[in-house]
């Protein structure tokens, strides 16, 4: 081997394999300390950010107060006015909050007797504003949201459907969701059941998809959706800055909103994947796994800055022989 090639190999090895005797615990601790320092710096209090957050909150409150009487009249009146206003309301909130929205793909169009059930990952309260401003659909939310001040008002403007997840109310709540679908309303559902840390997508709970598989008289179109906040103040979002957007655990929603609205600008990307027909899957569990796979792959591509395109589940992708490969659930 020539000396030049030997030197090149040694250089590459030094990059990939650290020298012998490296204290990995010390390196990991130093890395964690660096991330913590970056996080503290990113969330450091600033007078300008506080003024910006207060101004935006006041504008959001005024816009909400202006929309309440109009939406109350539209809900009582026939037509699609209430649906259009809900989308405009959320879009304006994003504009006020400095959240730019990029959309990749096309939303599925409902057909007669076949509304759309959007299945999205969930990482923050800001998901409501972003998705509500681009999709003409109602949200399905936990009942606790209905008792939060201001958030409750925003949810009512979007005609949110509440579910308590108590066994005694399961049948009634399921009938309410089915009646919404039968009336032609599309729904936005977060099958994770909670918010994540923004770094991963939690497994989808198949029980939430009973309205897509077991409902009588209506068969919705299922469209997986990936949403990722990928820009903060014009720069790519790295892991230390995920808590600016991810609201989970015991985080206080007021403090979290004040911090996010204090930043100059942010961007969220919505990736609308190819629609799925529930009849193509043997069970709601198989449907939940397929939707989770697509949403997870789309979120990973967006977080890593790779080219993101609408995806199909691997179970529906044609194999080398030109036929659809069987799903994992069928193979099991």
Phi then psi dihedrals of residue 270, to 5 deg: -105, 125
Task: Write down the pLDDT at residue 241.
Answer: 80
Phi then psi dihedrals of residue 273, to 5 deg: -85, 175
Instruction: Tell me the DSSP string of 77-140.
Output: SSSSHHHHHHHHHHHHHHHHTTEEEEEES-PPPPBTTB-EEEEE----THHHHHHHTT---EEE
Mean pLDDT value across the chain: 83
Global model pTM greater than 0.85: no
Distance from C-alpha of 246 to C-alpha of 243, rounded to nearest angstrom: 5
Q: Is the pLDDT of residue 331 over 60?
A: no
Tell me the average pLDDT across 21-36. 70
Architecture of domain 46-313: 3-Layer(aba) Sandwich (3.40)
Which has more confidence, 79 or 324?
A: 79
List the domain boundaries for the chain: 46-313
Task: Write down the pLDDT at residue 316.
Answer: 75
Please state whether beta strands 116-120 and 187-189 pair in parallel, antiparallel, or not at all (unpaired). parallel
Distance from C-alpha of 219 to C-alpha of 306, rounded to nearest angstrom: 34
Q: What is the pLDDT of residues 45-97, one digit of tens each?
A: 678 889 999 999 999 999 999 998 999 899 888 888 999 999 999 999 999 99
Q: Is the pLDDT of residue 254 over 60?
A: yes
Q: What is the pLDDT of residues 193-243, one digit of tens each?
A: 889 988 899 999 988 888 877 667 788 999 999 999 999 988 898 877 888
Task: Write down the pLDDT at residue 9.
Answer: 57
Task: Write down the pLDDT at residue 35.
Answer: 63
């Amino acid at each position: 081997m020539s000396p030049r090639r030997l030197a090149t190999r040694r250089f590459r090895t030094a990059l990939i394999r650290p020298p012998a005797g490296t204290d990995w615990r010390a390196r990991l601790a130093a890395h964690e300390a660096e991330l913590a320092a970056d996080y503290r710096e990113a969330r450091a209090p600033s007078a300008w950010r506080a003024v910006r957050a207060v101004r935006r909150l006041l504008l959001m409150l005024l816009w909400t107060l202006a929309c309440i009487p109009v939406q109350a009249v539209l809900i009582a009146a026939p037509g699609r006015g209430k649906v259009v206003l809900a989308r405009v309301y959320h879009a304006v909130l994003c504009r006020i909050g400095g959240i730019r929205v990029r959309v990749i793909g096309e939303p599925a169009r409902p057909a007669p007797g076949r509304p759309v059930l959007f299945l999205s990952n969930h990482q923050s309260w800001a998901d409501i504003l972003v998705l509500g401003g681009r999709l003409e659909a109602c949200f399905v939310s936990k009942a606790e949201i209905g008792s939060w001040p201001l958030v409750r008002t925003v949810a009512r403007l979007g005609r949110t459907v509440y579910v308590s997840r108590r066994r005694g109310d399961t049948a009634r709540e399921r009938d309410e969701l089915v009646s919404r679908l039968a009336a032609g309303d599309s729904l936005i559902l977060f099958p994770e059941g909670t918010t994540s840390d923004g770094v991963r997508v939690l497994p989808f709970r198949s029980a939430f998809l009973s309205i897509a598989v077991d409902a009588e008289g209506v068969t919705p179109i299922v469209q997986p959706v990936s949403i990722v906040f990928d820009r903060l103040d014009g720069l790519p979002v790295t892991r230390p800055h995920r808590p600016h957007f991810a609201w989970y655990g015991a985080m206080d929603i007021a403090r979290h909103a004040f911090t996010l609205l204090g930043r100059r600008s942010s961007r969220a990307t919505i990736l609308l994947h190819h629609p799925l027909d529930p009849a193509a899957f043997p069970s709601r569990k198989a449907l939940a796994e397929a939707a989770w796979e697509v949403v997870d792959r789309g979120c990973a591509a967006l977080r890593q800055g790779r080219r993101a395109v609408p995806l199909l589940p691997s179970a529906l992708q044609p194999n080398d022989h030109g036929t659809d490969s069987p799903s994992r659930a069928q193979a099991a």
